[in-house]
Amino acid sequence: MKIFGNDEAPKLVFSEQELSELEPEQVKLDAPHPLLWLDIETTGLDPREDQIFEVAMVKTDDDLNVLEELQIVLGDTLEWVTLGKVKPEVLKMHVDNGLLLEARASSVRSEEAKWKIIKFLTDDYSQSGSFWEPVKKYTLAGSSVHFDKSFVLAKWPGLASYFDYRIVDVSTLRELGKRWLPAYSLPEWDESEHRALSDIHRSIEILRFWRGELYG
C-alpha cells in the first residue's frame, strides 16, 4: 500500500495483490443513488408550452422492490382544456383512461403538487430559502424518462437538485434487444395505459426481466 498526496488529503493506493487479499467487507464502494421512477401525463409534447396532467414517482431498492409511491393528478391543467389548447386525440385518450374525470375532481394545483413531491423526495431535511435542501440525490428511471424529466424541470426547476445527472432508461434495453437479439423471444408486455403510476409499474416489470436475462 502506498500513500500519495499532502498531509491534509492523503490517498491510499492498493496493489492488485493487496486488493485480492482484502475481505469483502473491507472494500467499500460508493453506494449508488437510489432509483426514483418517474412518469407523467401531459397535454402535449412541448415542455415549454404544454402542461402536466398527472405525475407519479416510485422509489425502489436495488432489487427493484417498491418502497414508496406518489401519484398526483393536477386539477389546474383543466384550464388548458377549457382554452382549447389540448389536441383532440390527447383529450380523447385521457377521457378513455379516466384521467380527465380525475382531473375534474382534483383540487391540487401546481404549487401544492411541487411541495407534495419535495416531501416525498426528502427523508431528513433542513429549510433553505424556498426549497428544502436534499440529503441525497436520486437516479431517475423509467421509459424514455428524459421526456418526463424535461417537463418536471420546466414546471418545477427547483427539483433539479434532487436528481443525479444519470438516468436509467428502460427503453434503451428494449431498443437494443430488437436490434441485437432479433431472434430472441421477448415477452409481450401490456400496452401503455397512459396513466403515470401504472406505466411506471410496467417499466419496472420490463427492467426486472432484463435484469434476470443480463445479470442473472
Structure confidence by residue, pLDDT tens digits, 104-159 = 999 999 999 999 999 999 864 444 444 556 667 899 999 999 999 999 999 999 99
Residues contacting residue 41 through CB under 8 Å, at least 6 positions apart: 52, 53, 54, 94, 99, 194, 195, 196
Has 125 been annotated as catalytic? no
C-alpha cell at 161: 437538485
Q: What is the pLDDT at residue 29?
A: 47
Q: Are 132 and 125 in contact (CB under 8 A)?
A: yes
Least reliable range by pLDDT among 14-18, 94-98, 139-143: 14-18
Instruction: Kindly list the domain boundaries of the chain, sorted by start residue.
Output: 34-215
Return the closest-CA partner of residue 165 out of 201, 134, 139, 193.
139
Cα–Cα distance, 17 to 13 (Å, whole number): 12
Q: Which of 125, 165, 184, 215 is catalytic?
A: 165
Return the closest-CA partner of residue 54 out of 3, 14, 96, 94.
94
Cα–Cα distance, 199 to 159 (Å, whole number): 22
pLDDT band at 83 (very low <50, low <70, confident <90, very high): confident
Residues contacting residue 122 through CB under 8 Å, at least 6 positions apart: 132, 134, 135, 162
Q: What is the pLDDT at residue 134?
A: 63
Residue 18's SS3 state is helix
The CATH class that applies to domain 34-215 reads alpha beta
Q: Are 73 and 104 in contact (CB under 8 A)?
A: no
